Structure 1
Amino acid sequence: MGAKENQSKHFWGFPFTHFSYFFIWATIYGFLTLWMEQVAHLNGAETGVIFSMMAGISLLFQPIFGILSDKLLFRKNLVLTIAVAGILIGPFFQWAFLPILSVNPFLVAIVTGTFLSFILNGGVSVIEQYVQRAGLANKFEYGHSRMGGSMAGIVAALIAGRLFLWSPNSIFWSCSISAIVLTLLLLFSDKVNLENAKAAGDTSNSLDWKTVSSIFKMPNFWVLSIFYMGASAIFDVFDQQFIVFFKTFFPTASEGTLVYSYMASGQTVIEFILMIPMPWIINKIGSRNGLIIYGFLTAIRILGSAMAPSWEWVVFFRLLAGLEMPLLLVSIMKYISGSFDIRLYATVYALSSNFAKQISVFVFSAVAGNLYDQIGFQHTYFILGGLVVLITLFALFTMKKEDPVQAGEVEDSSAGGGKAAVPPTNS
């Protein structure tokens, strides 16, 4: 406990880093669909293609980003590049998107997909693993830093909705401002206790392709990847055009947008509050169980939305996401730490939790976009929810339990409270 207190000065920069990055994430994913519908005048299928391109192109980034992150460890070259790219979001949507769209709709999907996937779909694993490893070195819980990301969701929902109603393009300029803050934090604020770097896998000179390729021989890696492809990916696909579905319950689009903003704020308030006890809860129930519970909650939320008779019921099921996200975020970080070689942490996270997930998002975004236009939101949600149920049942019977000591769920009493740095590789 004393070590954590002594190193508390190394903690506070990271929640603000999470805040500035996830403000961009929450704003883009919360309001990009609405902007493309009302400003760019794209239909559901065309919007789905752009999200598919974001997912598909990120497949090129994620394996490279994962390996680079494991090599770079605490060097900030890659995270700074992503932060600087985020500064260009405002200029891109203000001056480039619509002119490119007028040339060719598919071209704008490629350009937008490449740009946003570099910052978001590809970049998120870089930011997350960097903070997770900093937590191992500085001895703080990742989930407590991630509260900054939850707070960003609250602020983005409150601010971005009003900015959109005032001037739709202003939401993208708010992302640019947040990216400037992120860049400054990375340069001047985030400090890592390098004396304890081995706790996070000091691999800059030892990681080779043979070690990296060993991941693909682990059955549990494939189980985790399939789970993400079927649960977390469909969670994202469900949310992509959710605001369009939600507005159908209201007489005017502006009224629906405003209520959506309040609802999203409520969800992120719940998420923020639950981030405080969630590391303790996951330490008690185990990170594998946390992932399984997350899968079933996701299915309940999707199927419940499909059957909701009024917007009040939609709000209720949407608020469940405030519980889902802390479950997922804390569980996956601890599960990978406790089930795989810590030297390959970023690579496993990028490949199983992002690369595999984006394959599914790439496929389902376009398919769901077409289904929304053809059979409606409710029927599409029944299909998506059913898939999540099946894939979660698959994970329930096949996903191996993590090592609780290596996951940081319990202390290693034989080592004086220390944690194993390199888990077995035969997971």
Structure 2
Amino acid sequence: MNNLKKASFWNFGGMYFFYFMIWALVLTFLPYWLKNQGHLNTGDSGLVFSTMALTALILEPIYGVIQDKLGLKKYLFAFVVLCLLFVGPFVQFAFIPLLNINPIFGAAVGGAFLSLCLNGGVGVVESYIERSSRANKFEYGHVRLFGSLAGGTAAFIGGIMFVRNPYSIFWASTCSAIILGLLLWMVRIKKLDYQKDERVKDESEYVNKDNILKVFKKKSFWGLCLLIIGSACMYDVFDQQFPNYFASFFTHKSAGESFFSKVASVQTFLEAGFMVIAPWFVNKVGAKKGLILYGIILFIRVLGSAFFTDIWMLTVWRLMASLEMPLMLVSIMKYITGVFDLRLSATVYMLGFNFAKQVGVTIFSTVMGKLYTNIGFHNSYIFLSIFIIVMVAIGAFLMENDKTANQTQNIKVKKVIKPL
């Protein structure tokens, strides 16, 4: 409860709220917009998401190294906000004309632009605020719940806005970006504990090729990558076309779209509630077990969506995501800071989580789009669920236990001393 007394906690909470307001508005309704306004089939829609992921693949290593070198300086975050400001104008005045010129070209350009501030930019936001939470002495998972509240709010109002004017959600994103920029400007930078020790090399010195290459020599890094491809990546791939699958069980598609927006809103508010207790739970069982549990729940949700397709059961499967996200978001950050060097936290997060995730999304968005068209959702979901459980099992086998690694992590950064 001490968090509530800190102005910085509310400042970062507001930043999370308005960033994920944009995230939820755009990504929740983008499949509908691409289909109804862009007139794209599932294969071409998959190309948009694949391009977003491919662009993020290029950005993530660059973003990660830059942010680790910057430490808590906010220049890169400001660049992401600048890109967000142009979401409304881009979709209103450029996206449809580009799709009219050529659907594939338009999908590629649109996906690349959106990735600058969403698929690619989210890593900057997450890693910056996680590092800031350690500097300001509050629990990352608690400030992250503002993102879940934003998702619920956006899903609820977004459904109403989209029915009235499909372009309004993108202009609302631009307005949210203005507020986000003001909140970022208000942030007052603090130092992390190890930064206060004059003997310890700062980020700009420590973040170099040799130390980054050491990350790739750790078995835990590759295990984390495989687990993320099988879980967080497949979570995104599964959710890309699930709104259309859900709506197909209604007599009138508009009724299905409206109902789904309400279900998504409830899910994200439940997610915010679970986010409150997620840090306590993950601290209790360990971050590695939290990630494994996340993958198991996703496996159950995907397989259940293939076989139990009554509307009320599909609603249950969607609501189960409210358990997954708190587990994943808290566990991934705690695992990285518990097993890897703290000064490389952004690089490891960008590569081990976002980069690995986008590799999978780049490949499987198009693959699953084709499978949906050729063999239907039922068989596609069976294939997806098998892939999930296999990848989670292999990744978990390779990953080091974070509770064991954390016993020595707190003194690692003090081993690198500036020469006298």
TM tier relative to shorter chain: over 0.9
Q: Is the 8 A contact 1:23 1:153 kept in 2?
A: yes
Cα distance in 2 for partners of 1:287, 1:85 equals 33
Cα distance in 2 for partners of 1:38, 1:208 equals 47
Find the counterpart in structure 2 of residue 266 from structure 1: 266
Find the counterpart in structure 2 of residue 193 from structure 1: 190
* SS of equivalent residue, structure 2 residue 238: helix
- Comparing 339-348 with 8-17, greater Cα deviation is found at 8-17
Give yes or no for the alignment of 1:422 onto 2:419.
no
Any stretches of 5+ residues in structure 1 without a counterpart? 413-417
Task: Note the C-alpha offset of 1:202.
Answer: 4.1
Q: Is the 8 A contact 1:13 1:191 kept in 2?
A: no
Q: TM-score, normalised by structure 1?
A: 0.93
Find the counterpart in structure 2 of residue 138 from structure 1: 136
Find the counterpart in structure 1 of residue 252 from structure 2: 252
Q: Is the 8 A contact 1:199 1:421 kept in 2?
A: no
Find the counterpart in structure 1 of residue 76 from structure 2: 78
Task: Note the C-alpha offset of 1:84.
Answer: 1.2
Find the counterpart in structure 2 of residue 337 from structure 1: 337
Q: Is the 8 A contact 2:299 2:388 kept in 1?
A: yes
* SS of equivalent residue, structure 1 residue 241: helix
Return the match for 1:158 from 142, 156, 159: 156
Task: Note the C-alpha offset of 1:422.
Answer: 3.0
Distance of aligned partners of 1:7 and 1:347 in 2 relative to their CA distance in 1, 3 Å threshold = farther
- Comparing 283-292 with 375-384, greater Cα deviation is found at 375-384
Distance of aligned partners of 1:341 and 1:419 in 2 relative to their CA distance in 1, 3 Å threshold = closer
Task: Note the C-alpha offset of 1:406.
Answer: 3.7
Cα distance in 2 for partners of 1:424, 1:306 equals 52
Cα distance in 2 for partners of 1:6, 1:301 equals 35
Q: Is the 8 A contact 1:406 1:421 kept in 2?
A: no
Q: Is the 8 A contact 1:339 1:423 kept in 2?
A: no
Which structure has greater helix proportion? 2
Cα distance in 1 for partners of 2:202, 2:320 equals 38
Find the counterpart in structure 1 of residue 395 from structure 2: 395
Distance of aligned partners of 1:309 and 1:110 in 2 relative to their CA distance in 1, 3 Å threshold = closer
Task: Note the C-alpha offset of 1:397.
Answer: 2.4
Cα distance in 1 for partners of 2:60, 2:415 equals 24
Cα distance in 2 for partners of 1:5, 1:22 equals 21
Q: Is the 8 A contact 1:231 1:298 kept in 2?
A: yes
Q: Is the 8 A contact 2:223 2:398 kept in 1?
A: yes
What does the per-residue CA deviation read over 1:18-40, in whole Å, with 9 as the maximum and x for residues that have no partner?
11111111111100000011111
Distance of aligned partners of 1:57 and 1:318 in 2 relative to their CA distance in 1, 3 Å threshold = same
Letter in 2 for 1:194: K
Distance of aligned partners of 1:7 and 1:340 in 2 relative to their CA distance in 1, 3 Å threshold = farther
Find the counterpart in structure 2 of residue 96 from structure 1: 94
Distance of aligned partners of 1:170 and 1:397 in 2 relative to their CA distance in 1, 3 Å threshold = same
Task: Note the C-alpha offset of 1:55.
Answer: 0.4
Q: Is the 8 A contact 1:137 1:198 kept in 2?
A: no
What does the per-residue CA deviation read over 1:243-287, in whole Å, with 9 as the maximum and x for residues that have no partner?
100011101111101110110011111100011111011110100
Q: TM-score, normalised by structure 2?
A: 0.94
Cα distance in 1 for partners of 2:396, 2:210 equals 30
- Cα root mean square deviation, aligned: 2.1
Return the match for 2:17 from 8, 16, 19: 19
Identity of aligned residues (%): 42
Task: Note the C-alpha offset of 1:206.
Answer: 2.9
Task: Note the C-alpha offset of 1:386.
Answer: 0.9
Q: Is the 8 A contact 1:7 1:138 kept in 2?
A: no
Letter in 1 for 2:123: S
Q: Is the 8 A contact 1:36 1:47 kept in 2?
A: yes
* SS of equivalent residue, structure 1 residue 343: helix
Find the counterpart in structure 2 of residue 56 from structure 1: 54
What does the per-residue CA deviation read over 1:165-215, in whole Å, with 9 as the maximum and x for residues that have no partner?
000010111111111111111012x23323746389941333221111211
Cα distance in 2 for partners of 1:179, 1:131 equals 17
* SS of equivalent residue, structure 1 residue 62: helix
Q: Is the 8 A contact 2:227 2:396 kept in 1?
A: no
Q: Is the 8 A contact 1:100 1:107 kept in 2?
A: yes
Letter in 2 for 1:133: R
